[in-house]
Amino acid sequence: MRLEQAARQLEVLGNPTRLQAYRALVRAGPEGLPVGRLQRRLKVVGSTLSHHLRRLVATGLVTQERRGTTLLCRAHYPAMAALLGYLADECCADAPAPAARKPAGARAEEGKACA
Amino acid sequence: MRLEQAARQLEVLGNPTRLQAYRALVRAGPEGLPVGRLQRRLKVVGSTLSHHLRRLVATGLVTQERRGTTLLCRAHYPAMAALLGYLADECCADAPAPAARKPAGARAEEGKACA
DNA sequence: GAACTATTTCGATGTCCATCGAAATAAAAC
DNA sequence: GTTTTATTTCGATGGACATCGAAATAGTTC
């Protein structure tokens, strides 16, 4: 059921407002950004942003940490790496080898169209 | 408005059935798969699969080509690469350099957390 | 052109989601 | 403890989507 998890994360990233927020966090790096700064940057109503951040956190793409009165948000990079890997890995895994037989134990590298 | 395009593609991939179909095509490699084979593999009603494929094609993630009576579907790898790049690129671009000043013209490589 | 296979379009149904404003909570400052 | 700032929860609204079965279309074969 790994597919379900990936689909959930992709769906969460598939909303323009959420994608914008997530990208801002990715750009911000390990220091992250507080909710308020995100809100001002994206020009979105607070309650709406809160809703979106909740979904990002729920799927493991973003983490939050209290910092006094503000809430610090950070992109969770391992989750991003896993998701990208899920999409890119096994590319052409089922493709018939163009000419040569794949040697046993070797990953099919020939014909990789998504290099 | 490149963000809108990326969000649309992510949202399209964010449905389990569609993600399954897309992954099957990615695995299949450049040869692609006909609709009927996808249908049997995913065990999904024909009309539903047709609906999903239409969305994958509409966002440029999949291409189709008539092959006699069957319709051949292929993952469009440049689109996938562009989407993955959109997510991964500019990681930490806004992050303050930890110690050294970034030399002018050089991309901030230090602190890249998503390597 | 009739029969057959492959795929799509249509119409209907139920569900989930984005967005907002107002009110509620959390934490700090005074 | 009251004021102030930061963020969330609540409730409502309008719109989009997934799924299905039945009927329609495209293309092949006889």
Check pLDDT > 60 for residue A99: no
Nearest to A38 by CA among A51, A25, A29: A25
Rounded to whole angstroms, how far apart are CA atoms A58 and A99?
Answer: 46
CB distance A14–B8 less than 8 Å? yes
Q: Do B95 and A7 touch (CB under 8 A)?
A: no
How high is the pLDDT of residue A95?
77
A12 alpha carbon, distance to own chain's centre: 9
Mean pLDDT value across chain B: 87
Secondary structure percentages of chain A, helix, strand, coil, to 5: 55, 10, 35
pLDDT band for position B115 (50/70/90)? Answer: low
B34 DSSP β-pair partners: B72
Cα–Cα distance measured from residue B18 to residue B91, given in angstroms and rounded to the nearest whole number: 28
Q: Check residue A115 and give its pLDDT.
A: 53
Chain-centre distance for alpha carbon A37: 21
- How far apart, in Å, are the Cα atoms of B45 and each of A82, B48, B67? 30, 5, 22
The pLDDT of residue A102 is above 60: no
Residue positions counted in chain B: 115
Task: Check if the beta carbon of residue B42 is closer than 8 Å to that of residue A42.
Answer: no
Give the span between the Cα atoms of B36 and B70, in whole angstroms. 8
Determine if the pTM surpasses 0.75: yes
pLDDT at B59 over 60: yes
User: How confident is the model over A77-93, as a mean pLDDT?
Assistant: 91
Q: What is the pLDDT of residue B113?
A: 63
- pLDDT per residue as tens digits for the range A55-83: 999 999 999 999 888 999 999 999 999 99
Residue, of A25 and A109, whose pLDDT is higher: A25
At A9-42, the pLDDT tens digits run 999 999 999 999 999 999 999 999 999 999 999 9
Is the pLDDT confidence value at A100 over 60? no
Quick one: pLDDT band at residue B101, thresholds 50, 70, 90? very low
Please name the residue whose C-alpha is nearest to the C1' of nucleotide C18. Answer: A48
pLDDT at residue B29 tops 50: yes
Q: Which residue is nearest to nucleotide C22 (CA to C1')?
A: A47
Task: Phi first, then psi: give them for residue A13, nearest 5 degrees.
Answer: -75, -10
Q: Which of residues 46-65 of B touch A (CB under 8 A)?
A: none
Beta strand residue intervals within chain A, DSSP E: 33-34, 62-67, 70-75
In this model, does residue B110 exceed pLDDT 80? no
Residues 13-32 on A with a CB inside 8 Å of B are 13-16, 19-20, 23-24, 26-31
Tokens of B3: 């963000």
- Domains with residue ranges and CATH for chain B: 3-88 (1.10.10.10)
pLDDT top residue among A49 and B69: A49
Round and report the angstrom distance from CA (A95) to C1' (C16): 37
CA dist B22 and B13 (Å) reads 8
Q: What would the two tokens of residue A41 be? A: 């940057």
Contact status, residue A61 vs residue A76, Cβ threshold 8 Å: yes
Asked if B92 has any chain A CB less than 8 Å from its own CB, the reply is yes
